[in-house]
Amino acid sequence: MVLENLDRTQWNFLNALAHVETVVVAHRATEKGSVAAEPSKSYGQWQQPTDPVVAWKNEARDQLLIAMRDGDLHAKGRLSTTSSGRSWADGSQWKLHSGYHQSITPEQWREGEFGWKHHKLTTFEWEFIDIRMPRFMVKAIWPDFVPAVAPNAVGAGEAVSYSPPYLTLMQEAIAHFDLSDTRQEKKDVLVSWFRGKRVNDAPLSKHLAEVMATLVRLPSAQRGGAKRSFSPGYGQAS
């Protein structure tokens, strides 16, 4: 019975990176919000203020690679040891990649150079492409971010532990679909996701799933005013 419930979903590198970025950015933004604002600075033309989100996403990249280099996160890829005879300027140096995925060892992660543009792990002797990893392992290291509940006014600073199951499920949906002001999912996709969930071991009704799908989206998205977009930085070379 335990094996039947095992999450066997494989995430490609973009899926994993998107999740880690979401979690790291959310945590850093929460931490930044709890720190007193720094006094404003005057910048010259040569010194512009930097976007902290960019630095947080770079931190997420580093965390993901470090987890694989240390062996905390296991990944697989399709290996090639056959040179294409091309130079770097002409295109890929490798061809005839394996049709099945094999484990990438921590030693290989430390030895190889990871290319952020095409998500390939390469050395002078081999190359891994189509890198994948178990979703449950990624989420075990970077659990879905759930904002902390505001302190209880009556309990002198004690945190409120109560959260109704439907609210918890909506927060899970926001994290799962990476919803934000600039990224909105279609309502029917959200409804389908909610219908597949259970609360107190009971499935959600169609009506309740539609209501929850509406509540997790922006009002402008419900009018068709928001466009779906993906997190910046994907597929760009570092």
Q: Model confidence over 54-85: pLDDT tens digits? A: 888 999 999 999 999 999 999 999 999 998 77
* Residue 130 lies inside a defined structural domain of this protein: yes
Instruction: Please give the pLDDT value at position 15.
Output: 92
Structurally, the chain folds into a number of domains equal to 2
User: Domain residues for 18?
Assistant: 3-31+53-141
Same domain? For 135 and 169 the reply is no
- pTM for the model: 0.56
Same domain? For 13 and 94 the reply is yes
Same domain? For 119 and 199 the reply is no
Beta strands in the chain (DSSP E): 10-12, 75-80, 82-83, 94-95, 102-104, 113-115, 120-122, 127-134, 198-199, 202-203
Residue 151 is given by DSSP the state B
